[in-house]
Chains A and B, each alone.
Chain A
Amino acid sequence: GAGVSQSPSNKVTEKGKDVELRCDPISGHTALYWYRQSLGQGLEFLIYFQGNSAPDKSGLPSDRFSAERTGGSVSTLTIQRTQQEDSAVYLCASSLFLRQTVQRVQPYEQYFGPGTRLTVT
């Protein structure tokens, strides 16, 4: 079946411009994550959407970064007034959530998209 898709695969932009990165999760996956990975570095958590709950924005590095998820499916990560330090691979991942009890939901394994390589010149 179709996996997580991201577009564009590569984006080169000038410093100060705005960019939008898109993520199409696996159909039926209620959880969606955005990460950033600089060359040779680990995954940096940015934002997390789970169903209709308010997103966890605790990883966004500045107010230039924002994300939305429309209709519980497609998500767009927007970076305003890009800076050179924003250059990185932006990865999106989606997962199912498995409800274990009435009060608790359990995360399931994440499936990653191919990423968008952003270069700010």
Chain B
Amino acid sequence: QKEVEQNSGPLSVPEGAIASLNCTYSDRGSQSFFWYRQYSGKSPELIMFIYSNGDKEDGRFTAQLNKASQYVSLLIRDSQPSDSATYLCAVSVLVNFGNEKLTFGTGTRLTIIP
């Protein structure tokens, strides 16, 4: 089982609708969760991070974390064509006593249809 799993997509969403991106992880000890956006040919850039169970909102973006279900999601409201990109989920993984490193999923490709 991969440490971080995402549906590779592509996920197509009409402009103005809500895009929902999902991520599951295997390490119950994970504490930190990040969503990155990567445009084609560019480096990943951080969109949001979440540490606590529940929802965290930032503009059109909402991150949702459910540690019991080992599930983190990203909702994009009022989707715009400029949101078309690959979205990478990253989760902290314990590597040895006291230390953690981030592990990335393979990403979900999102296309917003005008």
Contact = CB atoms under 8 A, between A and B. Distances in A.
Interface of A: 31, 33, 35, 41-43, 45, 48, 50, 53, 56, 91, 95, 103-115
Contact of A110 (B100, B102, B106, B107): B102
Which among B45, B92, B98, B107 has the greatest number of chain A C-beta atoms within 10 A?
Answer: B98
Interface residues of B, number: 23
A43 B44 contact: yes
Interface of B: 31-32, 34, 43-46, 49, 88, 90, 92, 95, 97-107
B113 to A, nearest CB: 20
Contacts of B44: 43, 91, 112
Contacts of A106: 31-32, 92, 100
A53 B102 CA distance: 16
A33 B101 contact: yes
Nearest to A41: B106
B111 to A, nearest CB: 14
B46 A104 contact: no
